[in-house]
Chains A and B, each alone.
Chain A
Amino acid sequence: MIKVTNLHKSFGEVKAVQGISFEARDGEVTGLLGPNGAGKTTTLRMLYSLLPPDSGEIRIDDLDPTRDAMAIKDTIGVVPDNRGLYARMTARENIHYYGELHGMADQDIRKRIEEFVERLSMADFIDRRAGGFSQGQRVKVAIARAMVHDPQTVLMDEPSNGLDVMSTRELRKYILDLKSAGRSVVLSTHIMQEVTALCDRIVIIAAGKIAADGTAAELLQQSRCATIEDAFVKLIGTDEGLLA
């Protein structure tokens, strides 16, 4: 359960986030939808305590990322925009390293990795070095290492970027599995199909502010449009999102 109230963040002159508030409930997938540069990544970075907010409040299961950074990092799983792997290590070693950093016991890590191999179909590359991985393989490793400690809250920054159809379907299935397991999932995206296929709630962000917030049906009603895409364009007030 995430609760964000009136979040602000500036980088010098640039006001990246100006008063964002939303909620992400357990057992739901919340989509942060917005054009490039709208402030999605900055908002997520404040959620996983990489950046301190200038003002505003964040609570993740009643923990504050600015004060309880270590405790929060234990309960969240993050697939950030930057998802570099260690090229000279195998997929298994990449995931194992993160398990160790979470202080997990060796046998627990191994068991988790076997689960991922099964669920994310990683069998044919789990023991290969990450240097030559395809985009899809890289994302799978990034997800597995982020989820190795079985977190309650999951944050994903444009997870389906650069994935082919098969990988995207696998990813969606995995996210829906997390949802039915009662996890709170937040994902940022600018892909409309993803929003309609996955999200229970949609938070539309434009120029660092909340443009709209609600279920898909609510957004359609609010904007009197037939598709989410039209609703999105109407709600953010420009068509810049479509150029991305």
Chain B
Amino acid sequence: MRGISTVFRKEVRESLRDRRAVFNTLLLGPILFPVLFLGLAYFGVSLQEERAEKTLEVPVIGQEHAPNLVEFLQQQGMVVLPPPDDPEALVREQKAEVIIRIPDDFADHWREGTPAPVEVIADPSRRESGTALNRVRWILNGYNQLIGRLRLQLRGISSNLDSPIQIKDVDLSTPKSRALMVMIFLPYILMLTAFTGGLHQAMDSTAGEKERQSLEPLLINPVARWQIMSGKMLATNFFAFASLTLTLLSFKLFLPFMPIDQLGLDLHLSSQAVLKILLVIAPVTVLAAALLTLLAAYAKTYKEAQSYMGLVILIPIIPSMLFMVNPVKPETHMMWPPLFSQNLLIGEIVRGETIPALWLGLSFGGTLTLGLILAAIAATLYNRPKLIFTSS
């Protein structure tokens, strides 16, 4: 054990002196991620608001066929623009978001009391035009209902007849659970940090030490190789965990600056939640450190190690991506697989749900076990005589 702690202390101390590495692992992520994340949220909200409040300017073709409708549109605050020459091209070229066309036969249908056509020209695959399109539809629907009811009333029929059912939304989502939709990126960022936080340390202390030819003299000391490896792995673990803690704290500090009122969200991250998340994710840092150390020990050169690291970074992304595309309800059997369970649990913590102790135990145990198995494999790699050879 003396060997482990000696190696650990030396590795941490030496790495802390590497200013660039310290900045990259301990400061860059924790500053960059929250700023990026909150910046995006802010930008999204303000853009949406701007669209919703912006005066709606819509070119209307065939205004002469339905002067009453045009008047209604203007009453609703829409600025009716003169008809363009080629409306389809205008929409396709994104010069107009929505265009209304009132066909020639509108008046005939109107007089006969059959549904009169109104065309709404837009490209819904352009997401930025969604808000304008919805507003135009909403206004047209309003006109539709108004006229429909007036016609019924003229014939002495209750206008209620036209609404056989009344739909009411009962919203059970709490401000916290709505926050989840915004926080969906949090598990993703944390998983990534668990891996990137220890990356430099793992590379430098194994592949780097091999390359700088200080590994052979180190191994001549009377300390078992698995202890030397464990000391290095713990240092990797330490940096991953430190990076995670700083990232979470920085999220906690940045969240109050979110445009919360506009979103109607509760985006508070309590100290208790931060601690819970750290507890849930702690075994992931062990897993990550073991995997990184294993690969760094397996690689013959620093460059080879680097090429593996690029692929390793993809691993923590997979579960997060999967859940973003296909959200699932957390269940007990999902608590075994590493990374998946943490993704779900962090989601639950952010929602403010209470988590069964069994889930925590399964998630913690499952991930830690896999981490220790990988560490054991790394130790056998360390015991190979050819560990010290950079080529062959």
Contact = CB atoms under 8 A, between A and B. Distances in A.
Partners in one complex: yes
B213 A50 contact: no
Given A50-B216, A82-B214, A73 B222 contact: yes
Interface residues of A, number: 30
A100 B6 contact: yes
A86 B14 contact: yes
Contacts of A101: 3, 6-7, 218, 221-223
A146 B221 CA distance: 9
B135 interface: no
Given A50-B385, A102-B222, A11 B392 contact: yes
Contacts of A102: 221-222
Contacts of A82: 213-217, 388
A52 interface: yes
A73 B6 contact: no
Interface string A66-100: 00001101101010111111111100000001101
B17 interface: yes
A64 to B, nearest CB: 15
Interface in B94-148: none
B220 A48 contact: yes
Secondary structure at the B interface, as helix, strand, loop or mixed, is helix
Nearest to B388: A50
A85 B6 contact: no
A88 B13 CA distance: 9
A80 B14 contact: no
Contact of B6 (A89, A97, A146): A97
A242 interface: no
A84 B18 contact: no
Contacts of B213: 82-84
Most B C-beta atoms less than 10 A away, residue of A74, A100, A145 = A100
A142 interface: yes
Given A82-B388, A101-B6, A50 B219 contact: yes
B221 A84 contact: no
B291 to A, nearest CB: 25
Nearest to B21: A88
Nearest to B10: A97
Nearest to A155: B220
Size class of B's contact patch? Answer: 20 to 34
B284 to A, nearest CB: 29
B2 interface: yes
A97 B231 CA distance: 13
B144 to A, nearest CB: 75
B303 interface: no
A11 to B, nearest CB: 7
Contacts of A50: 216, 219-220, 385, 388
A19 B58 CA distance: 95
B224 interface: yes
Given A97-B10, A101-B6, A86 B388 contact: no
A52 B14 contact: no
Contacts of A89: 10, 13-14, 17
B222 A84 contact: no
B209 interface: yes
A41 B6 CA distance: 29
Interface in A142-160: 142, 145-146
B151 interface: no
A192 interface: no
A237 interface: no
B212 interface: yes
Interface string A86-120: 11110000000110111100000000000000000
A8 to B, nearest CB: 15
A46 to B, nearest CB: 10
Contact of A74 (B214, B222, B385): B222
A217 interface: no
Most B C-beta atoms less than 10 A away, residue of A11, A51, A98, A101 = A101
Most A C-beta atoms less than 10 A away, residue of B215, B222, B388 = B222
A198 B13 CA distance: 40
Interface in B214-239: 214-224
Most A C-beta atoms less than 10 A away, residue of B216, B219, B221, B223 = B221
Interface in A34-57: 48, 50-52
Interface in B1-48: 2-3, 6-7, 10, 13-14, 17-18
Interface string B192-214: 00000000000000000100111
29 contacts: A11-B392, A48-B220, A50-B216, A50-B219, A50-B220, A51-B385, A73-B220, A76-B220, A80-B216, A82-B216, A82-B217, A82-B388, A83-B213, A84-B212, A84-B213, A85-B214, A86-B14, A86-B214, A89-B10, A89-B17, A97-B6, A97-B10, A98-B221, A100-B6, A100-B10, A101-B3, A101-B6, A101-B223, A103-B2
Given A70-B222, A88-B17, A146-B217, 5 more contacts: A11-B392, A73-B222, A84-B215, A86-B14, A97-B6
